[in-house]
Chains A and B, each alone.
Chain A
Amino acid sequence: MLDQVIHSAGERSDRAWPGDGVTRVPYWIFQDRDIYAAEQKRIFQGRSWNYLCLSVEVKNTGDFIATFVGDTPVIVVRDADGELYAFENRCAHRGALITLEPRGNTKDFTCVYHAWSYDRQGNLKEVAFKDGIKGKGGMPASFCMQQHNPRKLRLAEAFGIVFGSFSNDVVPLEEHLGEEIYTRIGRVMGGRTPVVLGRYTQALPNNWKLYMENVKDSYHASILHLFFTTFELNRLSQTGGIIVDPTGGHHVSFSAIDVNSAKNNEKNNENNNEKDNEYAEQNIRSDSEFKLADPSLLESFKEFPDSVTLQILSTFPTFVLQQIQNAIAVRQIVPRGVDRTDLHWTLLGFAEDSPEQRLIRLKQANLVGPAGYISMEDGCVGGFVQRGIAGAAGEQAVIEMGGAGTDSSESRVTEASVRGFWKAYRAQIGI
């Protein structure tokens, strides 16, 4: 704490956002402990909707799950009335975690430290030895249990995805997401029952915002991720685009099979060659030849009425819904300090899947996660930045690809959604 004070006292005069826009991002934003603290208060505990869990993970009465909002531990639990409740995983007495289990089923919660216990709505119900023993000790008569609860969250769901907010005056979730984002969550999750296929956590050696920038950065996808590009899962010259909501904080990047181009493929090979040449001319290594010994990895089944093969959707501040062919997952980003972030992956199938479809999902799960053919690099590139900027707090990132705006576009050779993130971030944190 002391060095935090010294640190900020010595540096604060430098800590001003460069200019009005979002084409420059100062590197101290990824390094400063005061900024980290401000984010927890103004973003995560402010007027934001944060991903908590999937409704199906807390299906039955008493089911609970331990999760996070920013770095604040939170419990989500289903009570007997069928409703979900969420409250801080922090005892109102002395601050210990209320539950140590990541998941479970319970009638109530009892803190291990002094056995203060809570019902499934987060209300303090019992204080051990409240009235003392044989008339001695105990809490004062003035102590009112109703005034001592962990902070409670507002909850809302979008297609079985549970979001929570510490704020009482946050706009309704649907309005917060906006129609374009909301309907694209529904496109993946709507009208069916998700099944958790697996979970794991990727520990990232970088600030959480570097991961969010990466998620929103459609410019890097076909350059850094050779696997993706080589098999034509994603080329910038495929049809597709990005959608950035008016706040800037939410985005969708998508690509689709260009049906017309596919039909003309045989007749018009020149067109294809032209696309390939765009990569060759840029001297990007993505044009190398590479064949799979077992191409079954890339076999997919038709899951959606449209021809969109990739949809990466993020909502402010820290939620990602991924569809890469038939690999569906949600990602929760949990800050763990200025330069540490946990990325929680939940891989999804659906109750309606056939065994063959389920196998395809398992195979395509190789594309994502810490060992993912296309996600592996995203785990390390944030660390490369964090280390690269170590002595450069006063320098700035250049985020000018595609101009200075934050608008949706058909081109993915743009950093509009990265700028969008910073637009929303600045508005929320007041910087």
Chain B
Amino acid sequence: MTDVIGLLNHVQSAYARCIDNGNLEAWPDFFEEDCIYKITTADNYAQGLEAGVIFANTKGMLRDRVASLREANIYERHTYRHLLGQAWIVSQDAGEVRCETSFLVARIMRDGTTDVYATGRYIDVYRLNGTTPKLRERIVVCDSSRFDTLLALPL
């Protein structure tokens, strides 16, 4: 158990660092090829509503998200700062771990304006792959249903 928590903390810190440092091209590599990545709200999640703000069911769709942010979409430059809680392990077997992790994401705009952009929890399924866990599923459940202006960078 302790080893798994260590592994998860390591990979989750790397995930946050990757996004916060702006290295979005590396972000899809935290996922398996056949993965689910979804951003939704606590209301939708509680009511079992399927649609969210972002839905991807392949790693290719995550790459496309990054490519679109780089090449197509127009938005003001900004960065995130993720603060993550410790992973809470829900269940574990030989190859997979289900866990939940709280997050708080601040958004820093070009003019310095810094706001709490989102809080919530990651509801994850990791495939352990020995000692290199990758996400088979990450449901980003935002506590609030309100998104300020737009959501460009992934959470």
Chain A residues packing against B (C-beta within 8 Å): 102, 196-205, 224, 226-227, 230, 288, 290, 292-294, 296-297, 342, 347, 358-359, 361-363, 365-366, 369-371, 373, 376-377, 379-381, 383
Contact = CB atoms under 8 A, between A and B. Distances in A.
Contact of B68 (A203, A205, A227, A369): A227
Contacts, number: 123
A297 B149 contact: no
Given A205-B149, A288-B71, A370-B151, 19 more contacts: A197-B51, A198-B41, A198-B51, A200-B44, A200-B53, A200-B147, A230-B72, A292-B67, A297-B61, A363-B55, A365-B55, A366-B54, A366-B61, A373-B68, A376-B73, A376-B74, A376-B150, A376-B151, A380-B149
Interface in B39-69: 39-41, 43-44, 49-58, 60-61, 63-64, 67-68
Given A197-B51, A199-B44, A227-B73, A371 B60 contact: no
Interface of B: 39-41, 43-44, 49-58, 60-61, 63-64, 67-68, 71-76, 145-152
A210 B58 CA distance: 36
B64 A202 contact: no
Contacts of A204: 149
A373 B73 contact: yes
A202 B149 contact: yes
The 3 closest A-B pairs by CB, nearest first: A198-B51, A294-B60, A293-B60
B73 A203 contact: no
Contact of A199 (B76, B145, B148): B145
A380 B151 contact: no
Nearest to A364: B55
Given A230-B72, A293-B67, A203 B146 contact: yes
B53 A362 contact: no
A290 B69 CA distance: 12
A201 B146 CA distance: 5
Given A199-B44, A200-B145, A226 B150 contact: no
A200 B41 contact: yes
Nearest to B38: A362
B138 to A, nearest CB: 15
Given A199-B44, A370-B53, A379 B149 contact: yes
A316 B74 CA distance: 28
A358 B57 CA distance: 14
B50 A203 contact: no
A371 B61 contact: no
Nearest to A375: B150
Contact of A370 (B49, B56, B76, B149): B149
A369 B41 contact: no
Nearest to A378: B150
12 contacts: A199-B44, A205-B148, A226-B72, A293-B60, A294-B64, A366-B54, A370-B149, A373-B72, A376-B75, A377-B74, A377-B75, A381-B74
Contacts of A196: 49
Contacts of A199: 41, 43-44, 49, 145
Nearest to B66: A293
A380 B40 CA distance: 20
A185 B153 CA distance: 34
Contacts of A198: 40-41, 44, 49-52
B64 A358 contact: no
Contact of B148 (A102, A203, A373): A203
Given A293-B60, A377-B75, A380-B150, A365 B39 contact: no
B76 A380 contact: yes
A373 B67 CA distance: 11
Nearest to A362: B55
Given A203-B147, A297-B64, A383-B149, A226 B71 contact: yes
A294 B61 contact: yes
